[in-house]
Amino acid sequence: MIITTCGNSQKIALRVARQLQALYSPLTISSFPDGDIYLKYNVEVKDKVVVIIHSFQPHPNQSLYQVIFAAETAQDLGAKKVILVAPYLAFMRQDKRFHLGEAISSRIMAKHLNSCLDKIITIDPHLHRYKSLKDIFTIPATCLTANELVAQYIQKHFRQAVIIGPDAESYQWAKAVAKTIGAEATVLQKKRYSSRKVEVEMVYHLEMKGKDVAIVDDIISTGHTIAEAAKKAKKLGAKTVTAIGIHGLFVEDAIVKLKKAGVDRIVTTDCIEHNTNKIDVADLLVKELKK
């Protein structure tokens, strides 16, 4: 087995390779003077299982074509199998045509990956309108979850946490985490006016006064969703607010926004490399790749 990466997930790829005692060899990727992609394997991949570990953040669009080039090249060089491990899989939130004429990005992404991979493994993809990855992938697609790891983190660092899911879409994560540790949980009702404007309401009231609140979401992107939830929790008397994201994208000024909203701590998994990473998902991947 050869573990490689297009660049985004180097730390995790190296850790996984070490634990599997597999050869780690990152791809050489650069551009020709005119901007065309240049990609090269630095080891013999013929008859080998090639595992590309690459999160689709930062640079989701570039990541997609890099992965396609990497997978097709491996196939072309005679690899036995090509597996993509995408700890964060982008494009999943565009799972329908919200406005006339829009691309359904998740379907297009999956169509391209179906044609060049033997298998895809990902962690907590944003499955909202899709019931499972099977709705868009024709290749074997494994969906792992970091819920257990998030629950363990909360158990270790909180005396008695109250969990908030900031919207209906993310409640599946908050609810699962709360159930594992026997904590109280509630979901907020979110109204999204645009990519950068949301409002939240607490429909099912839960006592926040003096409590340590953990807001659990699958994705923290612009930070608006969690910022609004944090303001609500603080207004209701929460002692501390911790934002926990499986995938911390932190686009634009998300961190500043979260701090301004009263978030005391930001915690993410290392599905996307970031200085808020506190929860390590390498073991999840190792266990799956050993199967």
Decide if residue 87 touches ligand R5P (CB under 6 A).
Answer: no
Beta bridge partners of 240: 212
Give the CB-side neighbour count of residue 172, counting CA atoms within 13 A: 13
Residues 111, 89: Cα–Cα separation, whole Å: 14
- Identify whether the C-beta of residue 45 lies closer than 8 Å to the C-beta of residue 2: yes
- Identify whether the C-beta of residue 280 lies closer than 8 Å to the C-beta of residue 252: no
Q: From 44-52, 74-82, 148-156, 162-170, give the range in contact with ligand R5P by CB under 6 A.
A: 162-170
Strand-pair category, 265-269 with 240-248: parallel
Residues 221, 72: Cα–Cα separation, whole Å: 30
Decide if residue 95 touches ligand R5P (CB under 6 A).
Answer: no
Q: From 3-11, 106-114, 167-175, 201-209, give the range in contact with ligand R5P by CB under 6 A.
A: 167-175
Query: Could you say which of 11, 134, 190, 239 is catalytic?
Result: 190
The burial of 227, by beta-carbon neighbours within 10 Å (0-12 exposed, 13-18 middle, 19 or more buried), is given as buried
Q: From 36-44, 77-85, 133-141, 218-226, give the range in contact with ligand R5P by CB under 6 A.
A: 218-226
In the complex, the smallest distance separating the C-beta of residue 257 from ligand R5P, rounded to whole angstroms, is 9
SS3 119: strand
Q: What is the CA radius of gyration of the chain?
A: 20
Q: From 5-13, 72-80, 108-116, 166-174, give the range in contact with ligand R5P by CB under 6 A.
A: 166-174
**Residue 167 vs 212, nearer CB to ligand R5P:** 167
Helix axes 282-290, 10-20, angle to 10 degrees: 50
In the complex, the smallest distance separating the C-beta of residue 129 from ligand R5P, rounded to whole angstroms, is 11
Q: Is 190 a catalytic residue?
A: yes
Decide if residue 217 touches ligand R5P (CB under 6 A).
Answer: yes
Among 174, 220, 230, 255, binds ligand R5P (CB under 6 A): 220
Backbone dihedral region for residue 174 (phi beyond 0: left; psi -120 to 50: alpha; all else: beta): alpha
Residues 191, 26: Cα–Cα separation, whole Å: 42
Contact flags string 28-47 toward ligand R5P, x per CB under 6 A: --------------------
Residue 285: phi, psi to the nearest 5? -70, -40
**Residue 51 vs 216, nearer CB to ligand R5P:** 216
Site size for ligand R5P (CB under 6 A) = 15
**Residue 170 vs 186, nearer CB to ligand R5P:** 170
* Amino acid letter for position 250: F
In the complex, the smallest distance separating the C-beta of residue 245 from ligand R5P, rounded to whole angstroms, is 8
The residues annotated with a catalytic role in the active site are: 190
Q: Which residues bind ligand R5P (CB under 6 A)?
A: 93, 166-167, 169-170, 198, 217-225
